Amino acid sequence: MQKRIVYWKRHSYSELGFDLVEFFEDGQILRRRFEKDKDNNKLYKEIQNQIVTAKGIISIEKVTFDQDGQLKKKELTKHTEPLDTYPPEDWQKARKKVRKLQEKASDDLTIDYHSILKLDEASIPEETLKLTDRTSFPIVKYRVKSDKEVLIRKNQPSQTDVEFVPALNEKLYFHYFPETKHCNVTGGEIFTLETYDCKNNTTEEEFWEFIDDVLKKIHGNEEKFRDLIDQQREARAMHETDVLGDLYPR
């Protein structure tokens, strides 16, 4: 079981590098500074970091839907009740508990469970607090399909996640499509980087394992993926030129 990053933000970006703040589900907050690698200016290298541990709780909550498994988004708070709390350092116990509750509710589309990291504002460094407008961060999400103003309870909703790879200075988008039983990885202005066949009824935990496997694959092979992303970006630009025509004909 891998500890999750529940919130991240890149900031103070310049030609030389950028700063990155990451909030983890155990309450740890990691601030890092990256600058262009002098040995390979395609990549970025961490030059400093600072970690603090914020105080707070992990709250496990129950969400109640109507008999059709639906809930208006504006009524979400009213239909949510706290069930249990854990100190952030017990994140593994909290994760196992909410997963067990979700499993028990698999056949009941009128209820579901999720977990949220709630941090004490006073325990977050002031300069870090300025980077985010909230102190609560979802961990395990309730299983729904979002349809305009309504949430529809699903056992197998599609799943998405956005991860930041600082060595590449790139956001990667991860998707799980239950209808076609596959997962893919994309990025900004590129085609799909990789596609994988996923088993039927892939859970959120298994989706996270897929993400971790891809990130491990990138680690140590950053230059290869940097080149792949650049090639994809160039290929997409050429494709759009073929489809739309040269916007600036010479």
**Which stretches of the chain are DSSP H helices?**
91-104, 126-129, 204-218, 222-244
**pLDDT range class, residue 232, cuts 50, 70, 90:** confident
pTM, entire model:
0.91
CA distance 79 to 71: 8
Q: Is the pLDDT of residue 248 over 60?
A: no
Assigned domain for 4 exists? no
Question: Do residue 72 and residue 147 come from a single domain?
Answer: yes
Assigned domain for 45 exists? no
Say what the pLDDT of residue 201 is.
81
**pLDDT range class, residue 245, cuts 50, 70, 90:** low
Q: What is the mean pLDDT of residues 11-25?
A: 96
The count of other CB atoms within 10 Å of the CB of residue 184 is: 17
SS3 of 134, please? coil
Question: What is the domain range of residue 168?
Answer: 158-244
Q: Is 171 exposed, middle or buried (0-12, 13-18, 19+ CB in 10 A)?
A: middle
Assigned domain for 207 exists? yes
Q: What is the mean pLDDT of residues 219-246?
A: 81
Say what the pLDDT of residue 18 is.
98
Question: Do residue 109 and residue 166 come from a single domain?
Answer: no
| Per-position DSSP letters for 67-81, written without gaps between them | TTSEEEGGGTGGGEE
Question: Do residue 140 and residue 177 come from a single domain?
Answer: no
CA distance 174 to 162: 6
**pLDDT range class, residue 250, cuts 50, 70, 90:** very low
Q: Is the pLDDT of residue 246 over 70?
A: no
**pLDDT range class, residue 195, cuts 50, 70, 90:** confident
